[in-house]
Chains A and B, each alone.
Chain A
Amino acid sequence: MTDSSTVLIDARGLKKVYGRPGDKAGFTAVDGIDFQVRRGEAFGVLGANGAGKSSTMRMIACVSPVTAGSLRILGYDSGTDGARIRARLGVVPQDDTIDTELTVRENLLIYGRYFGLPWKVLRERSSRLLEFTRLSEKADDAVATLSGGMRRRLTIARALINEPEIVLLDEPTTGLDPQARHLLWERLFQLKQDGVTLLLTTHYMDEAEQLCDRLVVMDAGKIVAEGTPAELIARYTLREVLELRFAPGERQTMTDKCRGLAERMEELPDRLLLSTDNGEETLSAVHRQGVQPLTALVRRSSLEDVFLTLTGRSLLD
């Protein structure tokens, strides 16, 4: 077995600087990152807006040249073999870029033609994919009549027309309602079961925890942590979090009273987070200090807290 049969994406010292070559004032979006994605994995890239997620995805999709470092995908160099790599990738961009001048089915047919696939194959495949993404009834409708969730599913169907080995998803459920998100997750999970390697960016923690086997956290163009969701939670957070909300006028005094009650405390605009090994005990301690929160909630630590610990910011900032 060759190396590429296990590691499908291999990035080393990967860097992206926007601006003219030689221009010192260029903007560094990705600042020398290393990571590997193996066959069959669901790999997540987590980060706030502007962390460099989309730029990383665009380089992997071979639509944006690498500024420095090396990026090998499916055993090929992204700089010299872009077309060959793209032939085996499926791309779901952040904004739906469905061809609005075509119907739902025509979108799949024409997209398949860009891969040089024969019409006969495409007719069969597009029907199958419309069924897979639950769009069969919309097959001959104009794209304009689709809901947000349907559009996203069509984009996913389109990304699968060439039966790709890797599917890249840039914030796949951003802007969708909960029901549409769950349907999408279920379909993505099915893809994973079928052996497709998934690489997705997200700023939703529940999405990362549900879908990703392994993930990296990006901040300001760098990878600040890497591991499975459980590993990251164990490494960067305590077991539980106590969330407190206060009346607007009392916030500062209450926050001051809570200092020292937990090993770590994060102040967010709307609430106070206390990291602790035992949330109920900390809550008792809070009450003993005479702190009267409007609401108090004890929950298990999540990836959200990992992100907060690592970057000092909320993901949705």
Chain B
Amino acid sequence: MTAMPTGASAEIPLRPGRAWTMVERNLMIYRHTWPVLLAEIFEPMLYLLAFGVGVGLLVGDVPGLGASISYPQFVAPALLATAAMNGAMNETTFNMYGKLTTDKTYESILTTPMSVRSVALGEVFWALVRGAIVATVFLVVVSIFGLANLPEALLVIPSALLIGFAFAAVGLLTVTFLRSWQDFQLIQLVMLPMFLFATTFFPLDVYPRPVQVFVEVLPLYHSVELVRAAFLGTGGNPAVAVIYLAVLGIVALAVAVRRLEDTLRP
């Protein structure tokens, strides 16, 4: 039996460094494990039910946003922004740490023409694809319940993608600093308070001014602002949030790629 004629590979053009193949890999895996994605969609739904509807019955409308806004309407966009953040962060921290350490997935990928940069971009790209799916399904569901202001609310999708990009990049940078699985506790220590206080459940003006300044620095605050503006059609200028998230993402990604290069190609 003849197995491997040599030199035949020259006939097929090589397209090295294609980040998209990382997405193809993930899609192939998700053909087996798609319920994981469902869980990610259900989580914000549950929060919306518990806090938006449950607490909403007690608190009534939320003042201070121009038109009168019901509490579920106030909370829904924040939950969507948080879902976009968590989905992206989980992908590039938790999932990626496993592939970097125990599975050594990237080690074998990097013996091909793939570069560290294309692997990193590919994983960020995949986090975006996931984020887009979650955001779209969430938007469809809340629209059915009349919480979103269509068609303006469609702007939520690009907003979720930008949030996903920024947090995927931050996650990628974070993962290069992790020393063990225990360090994930530290990530939670930052993520949970940010989720609770970045105007997710109550507006900024309930805080005293010094705390407001602190909240305004948080990336999730800007994410919530962006999605809420699109969701409620309240307008406002999203430029600050867009620039903040774009710069955060680009800088984090650039530094992360350099650090990954040192880790993966010693």
Nearest residue (CB) in A for B95 is A101
Contact with A along B91-117 (1 / 0, CB 8 A): 000000000000111011111111100
**Distance between A247 CB and nearest chain B CB, rounded to angstroms:** 46
Residue B196, interface by CB 8 Å = no
Task: Evaluate contact between B8 and A100: CB separation under 8 angstroms.
Answer: no
Contact with A along B148-177 (1 / 0, CB 8 A): 000000000000000000000000000000
Interface residues of A in 155-169 (CB under 8 A from B): 158, 160, 162-165
Contacts of B9 in A (CB 8 A): 87-88, 162-164
Residue A65, interface by CB 8 Å = yes
Task: Evaluate contact between B28 and A97: CB separation under 8 angstroms.
Answer: no
Task: Evaluate contact between A132 and B29: CB separation under 8 angstroms.
Answer: no
Task: Evaluate contact between B111 and A63: CB separation under 8 angstroms.
Answer: yes
Query: How distant is the Cα of A113 from the Cα of B18 in the complex, in angstroms?
Result: 9
Contacts of B14 in A (CB 8 A): 87, 115-116
Contacts of B18 in A (CB 8 A): 116
Residue A191, interface by CB 8 Å = yes
Given A63-B265, A110-B24, are A196 and B4 also a contact pair (CB < 8 Å)? yes
Task: Evaluate contact between B5 and A194: CB separation under 8 angstroms.
Answer: yes
Contact with B along A268-310 (1 / 0, CB 8 A): 0000000000000000000000000000000000000000000
Residue B237, interface by CB 8 Å = no
Task: Evaluate contact between A86 and B6: CB separation under 8 angstroms.
Answer: no
Contacts of A158 in B (CB 8 A): 108
Interface residues of A in 78-127 (CB under 8 A from B): 83-84, 86-89, 91, 93, 95, 97-102, 106, 109-111, 113-118, 121
Contacts of A128 in B (CB 8 A): 3
Residue B136, interface by CB 8 Å = no
Nearest residue (CB) in A for B13 is A116
Which of B7, B21, B112 lies at the interface centre, i.e. has the most chain A CB atoms within 10 A of its CB?
A: B112
Tell me whether chain A's interface is mostly helix, strand or loop, or mixed.
Answer: loop
Task: Evaluate contact between A99 and B105: CB separation under 8 angstroms.
Answer: yes
Task: Evaluate contact between A87 and B16: CB separation under 8 angstroms.
Answer: yes
**Distance between B205 CB and nearest chain A CB, rounded to angstroms:** 47
Task: Evaluate contact between A132 and B3: CB separation under 8 angstroms.
Answer: yes
Contacts of B3 in A (CB 8 A): 128-129, 132, 160, 190-191, 194
Task: Evaluate contact between A121 and B2: CB separation under 8 angstroms.
Answer: no
B17: contacting residue among A63, A83, A100, A164, CB under 8 A: A83
Given A115-B113, A190-B3, are A101 and B29 also a contact pair (CB < 8 Å)? yes
Interface size class of A (residues with CB under 8 A): 35 or more
Residue A61, interface by CB 8 Å = yes
B4: contacting residue among A86, A95, A191, CB under 8 A: A191
Residue B266, interface by CB 8 Å = yes
Residue A69, interface by CB 8 Å = no
Contacts of A88 in B (CB 8 A): 9
**Distance between B29 CB and nearest chain A CB, rounded to angstroms:** 5
Task: Evaluate contact between B111 and A121: CB separation under 8 angstroms.
Answer: no
Task: Evaluate contact between A83 and B6: CB separation under 8 angstroms.
Answer: no
Nearest residue (CB) in A for B8 is A163
Task: Evaluate contact between B113 and A93: CB separation under 8 angstroms.
Answer: no
Task: Evaluate contact between A165 and B110: CB separation under 8 angstroms.
Answer: no
A121: contacting residue among B4, B12, B109, B265, CB under 8 A: B12
Nearest residue (CB) in B for A62 is B111
Interface residues of A in 189-233 (CB under 8 A from B): 190-191, 194-196
Residue A18, interface by CB 8 Å = yes
Residue B192, interface by CB 8 Å = no
Query: How distant is the Cα of A87 from the Cα of B7 in the complex, in angstroms?
Result: 12
Query: How distant is the Cα of A121 from the Cα of B15 in the complex, in angstroms?
Result: 15
Contact with A along B23-53 (1 / 0, CB 8 A): 0110011001100000000000000000000
Task: Evaluate contact between B6 and A116: CB separation under 8 angstroms.
Answer: no
Contacts of A65 in B (CB 8 A): 265
Given A99-B105, A195-B6, are A83 and B16 also a contact pair (CB < 8 Å)? yes
Task: Evaluate contact between B4 and A163: CB separation under 8 angstroms.
Answer: yes
Contact with B along A138-165 (1 / 0, CB 8 A): 0000000000000000000010101111
* Residues of B participating in the A interface, judged by any CB pair closer than 8 Å: 1-9, 12-18, 21, 24-25, 28-29, 32-33, 103-105, 107-115, 265-266
Closest 8 CB pairs of A and B: A116-B15, A114-B112, A97-B108, A91-B111, A83-B113, A113-B21, A97-B104, A163-B9
Q: What are 12 A-to-B residue pairs whose CB atoms are below 8 Å?
A: A63-B110, A83-B115, A84-B113, A88-B9, A97-B104, A98-B108, A99-B103, A99-B105, A101-B33, A132-B4, A190-B1, A191-B4
8 more contacts with CB within 8 A, not counting A163-B4, A163-B8, are A63-B110, A83-B17, A87-B16, A88-B9, A97-B108, A99-B108, A110-B21, A163-B9
